[in-house]
Structure 1
Amino acid sequence: MLTKEGRPTLADGIALGLIATGAVSVAIGAVVAVVTAAFEVFGAAPTVSMPVHDVELTALDDVAGVSAATVDSALVTVPAMSSGARWMLLLETTLPALATVALCAGVWWLGVSLIRSRPFRASLGWLFAVAACLMIAGSLFGQLAGGIGRAIIVQDLTAASPGAEDVLWTLLVQFDLAPVGWAFALALVAGLFEIGRRLQRDTEGLV
């Protein structure tokens, strides 16, 4: 709701302020997650979730009603992890986090713009467009970087102890395309703000 002066009501202003604050909190959380991942990956003994194959879960052999059980991943601690693998695993976390920060920046600025009754700003369209691009890059390249990092680990383990490839996937990248769909939605939002800005400019020119 808007007041007679065109400003949001007090309740709307509070709601928009909470949304903007929440967006900032999420962005800070994404940055903290990257820093935490960096400390873990570059630590003395990093633990990585590795995809495995043909590994049975024998702990459930005596459970009634279970005929067979297998696992598709395992937490593997690799003290001698190469620097290339460490950087790839860090990129797996960093790239999606950048998209999150860009999206939250757009939501925060949109909230501030709505409070000021200036929703159609050129900067908003650019922010959401950048967030859409980063979301695609973060989703695809982030998952690819993680797969490459794990492949490097398997290669190093196999060189030191032949047979590791019999349990660990040499290279396995399972792409989640859901963020790509959200990125297309963001691209439409960016286009919407650009169209709204042009209409607003044309309307102001007629007054």
Structure 2
Amino acid sequence: MTRTVDSPVSPADRIGARVVATGAALIAAVSVFAVIRGALDVFGAVVTVRMPVHAAAAPTLSGIDGIRSAEYIQADVAFATLPAAARWMLLLEGALPALAIIGVCAVAWWLGVSLVRARPFRRTMSTTIGLAACLVAAGGMFGQLCGGIGRGMIVDHLASTDPDVYEVFPAFAIDLNLAPLGWAFALALVATAFEVGHRLQRDTEGLV
């Protein structure tokens, strides 16, 4: 397929852009469903939470040939009662990253639509991508923080009746993952590239 002078976007490019836009919309819808499902789980009668624990021996693995010793540092714990504040923190742990995914999908959808219309370097595109970068960084990092705070609230709640709980669960722990910051910086770089592209497109149109 050849590109025409009037439109630099080929029919194949348009099809690909439509597929990307449709896929982004579907992923965003799935993320919304995941947030709703997470809310139902967190505010249910019985809540299962993956809790960090102090290193404990796993005797079932220690008996296997070739394994000298084994320990576990996390456990899935089912709680019958939880403080409301802890439930909200656990909800935010999953909801904030999901909102970041929705933001990125919105950018992908808008970019796909712009490609279909042969106008990828819109003035608003760099701003939109920059906002998505902020969402990825904030959603990923604050989501982890909320999860750690929520689990700390659970431990404090349990320790109010049994102080020995601190010997099993740490008072506060976060398994910090810096990947959201890396993705945010990458998106910020893409936003800068689109801003430069918009300027070049504007200058080129002025020469025609």
TM-score bracket, normalised by the shorter chain, equals over 0.9
CA distance in 1, matches of 2:96, 2:169: 25
Task: Report how many residues are paired.
Answer: 207
- In the alignment, which residue of structure 2 is the partner of 1:6? 7
CA distance in 2, matches of 1:204, 1:105: 27
- In the alignment, which residue of structure 2 is the partner of 1:161? 162
> Considering only aligned residues, what root-mean-square deviation do their CA atoms show, in Å?
1.4
SS state at 2:160 partner: helix
What pairs with 1:1-207 in structure 2 (closer than 5 Å)? 3-4=3-4, 5-207=6-208
TM-score by length of structure 1 reads: 0.95
What's the % identity of the aligned pairs?
A: 49
Q: Shift of residue 139 of structure 1?
A: 1.4
Q: 1:60-81 CA distances to partner (integer Å, 9 max, x unpaired)?
A: 2332222211111001111210
Q: Which ranges in structure 1 are unaligned for 5 or more consecutive residues?
A: none
SS state at 1:160 partner: coil
Any conservation in 2 of the 1:7–1:115 contact (CA below 8 Å)? no
CA distance in 2, matches of 1:175, 1:2: 49
Q: Shift of residue 198 of structure 1?
A: 1.9
SS state at 1:6 partner: coil
CA distance in 2, matches of 1:82, 1:88: 10
Q: 1:155-183 CA distances to partner (integer Å, 9 max, x unpaired)?
A: 00111222111111110012111111110
CA distance in 1, matches of 2:161, 2:122: 57
CA distance in 1, matches of 2:170, 2:186: 34
Q: 1:179-201 CA distances to partner (integer Å, 9 max, x unpaired)?
A: 11110010111111112112222
The list of structure 1 runs, each at least 4 consecutive aligned residues, that deviate by more than 6 angstroms after superposition, is none
Q: Shift of residue 7 of structure 1?
A: 4.6
CA distance in 2, matches of 1:190, 1:99: 16
Change (3 A) 1:6 1:58: same
Any conservation in 2 of the 1:53–1:169 contact (CA below 8 Å)? yes
CA distance in 1, matches of 2:191, 2:203: 19
CA distance in 1, matches of 2:63, 2:19: 52
Which moves more between the two structures, 147-156 or 193-202?
A: 193-202
SS state at 1:169 partner: coil
The one-letter code of the counterpart of 1:185 is: A
SS state at 1:71 partner: strand
CA distance in 1, matches of 2:161, 2:60: 29
CA distance in 2, matches of 1:2, 1:37: 48
Q: Shift of residue 2 of structure 1?
A: 5.9
